[in-house]
């Protein structure tokens, strides 16, 4: 288990925002969270990223309770292990797309070949041609892809995405969906996505719904056949990826995915 939220409750004043909430995510898993406006979704992401301490409960990352960590360790966790994609992109207006992407790496502890990393990511995200433009000159979809590049430049283990397609048209939202699948397949990233977009919910391994502070897991009704086709397609895609990315992805999970596919066949 990579991240485990256990029996977490959160109050703002006398209001109970989260009530005994539990949620787990393993490597390479996608989790979708839905819930009405004000139901506490962003707060829950804040707790998972160590930005917000719950009033009750624990959050384990790789078996360690992050709530007990000092601020320095928490910010290192946020910087190295977590990527955050916001609903409104949150790009710095005076910086170019390229500068926005490398910005979090300036506080990285062991900077590597940044240009190479940006080149590789830009190819995956299809933003090579707009890297030197300012955010105001970019379309919504391009801005969101720059924001995603920034979120994953440090190759986090977990990507927390807060309504990442909330401001995008259907076509662009589908591109973001495909991109998320590639992040899982190529980097073995775990994704926690707050969303109301059906296509994004569909790619999730698990779907949770937040209401009156209570998080419940929804049963995903997915025909067996469709599951098989989807998984097979994603494995084929993985095979065509560059070797460096595959090595990073860790052979373990893709191997188990292939085995699972074989079993279905």
Ligand X SMILES: Nc1ncnc2c1ncn2[C@@H]1O[C@H](COP(=O)(O)OP(=O)(O)OP(=O)(O)O)[C@@H](O)[C@H]1O
43 binds, among Mg ion, ligand X, none (CB under 5 to 8 A by kind): ligand X
DSSP for 170-208? Answer: HHHHHHHHHHHHHHHHHH--EEEEE---HHHHHT-SEEE
38 vs 116 by CB, closer to ligand X: 38
Cβ contact 145:179 at 8 Å: yes
28 vs 213 by CB, closer to ligand X: 213
Of all residues in this chain, which one has the CB nearest to Mg ion in the complex?
A: 42
Q: From CA 180, how far away is CA 177, in angstroms rounded? A: 5
121-128's contacts with Cβ under 8 Å and 24+ in sequence apart are 121/149, 121/152, 121/153, 122/149, 124/179, 124/182, 124/186, 125/149, 125/179, 126/175, 127/97
Q: What's the closest the beta carbon of residue 187 comes to ligand X, in angstroms?
A: 26
Q: What's the closest the beta carbon of residue 69 comes to ligand X, in angstroms?
A: 21
16 vs 237 by CB, closer to ligand X: 16
35 binds, among ligand X, Mg ion, none (CB under 5 to 8 A by kind): ligand X
Among 34, 43, 49, 154, binds ligand X (CB under 6 A): 43
Residues in the site for Mg ion, rule: CB under 5 A?
42
140 vs 250 by CB, closer to ligand X: 140
What residue ranges bind ligand X (CB under 6 A)? 12, 17, 35, 37-43
């Amino acid at each position: 288990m990579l991240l485990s939220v256990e029996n977490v409750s959160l109050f703002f004043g006398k209001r109970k925002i989260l009530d005994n909430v539990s949620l787990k995510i393993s490597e390479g898993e996608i989790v979708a969270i839905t819930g009405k406006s004000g139901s506490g979704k962003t707060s829950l992401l804040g707790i998972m990223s160590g930005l917000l301490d719950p009033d009750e409960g624990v959050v384990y990352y790789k078996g360690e309770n992050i709530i007990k960590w000092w601020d320095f360790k928490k910010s290192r966790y946020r910087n190295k292990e977590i990527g955050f994609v916001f609903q409104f992109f949150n790009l710095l207006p005076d910086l170019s797309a390229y500068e926005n992407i490398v910005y979090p790496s300036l506080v990285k502890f062991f900077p590597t070949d940044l240009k190479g990393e940006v080149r590789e990511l830009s190819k995956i995200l299809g933003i090579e041609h707009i890297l030197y433009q300012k955010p105001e000159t970019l379309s919504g979809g391009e801005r969101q892809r720059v924001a995603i590049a920034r979120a994953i430049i440090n190759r986090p283990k977990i990507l927390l995405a807060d309504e990442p397609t909330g401001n995008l048209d259907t076509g662009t939202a589908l591109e973001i969906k495909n991109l998320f699948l590639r992040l899982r397949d190529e980097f073995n990233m775990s994704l926690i996505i707050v969303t109301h977009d059906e296509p994004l919910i569909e790619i999730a391994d698990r779907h949770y719904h937040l209401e009156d502070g209570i998080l419940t897991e929804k049963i995903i009704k997915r025909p067996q056949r469709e599951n098989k086709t989807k998984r097979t397609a994603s494995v084929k895609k993985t095979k065509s990826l560059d070797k460096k990315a595959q090595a990073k992805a860790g052979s373990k999970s893709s191997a188990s995915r292939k085995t699972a596919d074989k079993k279905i066949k």
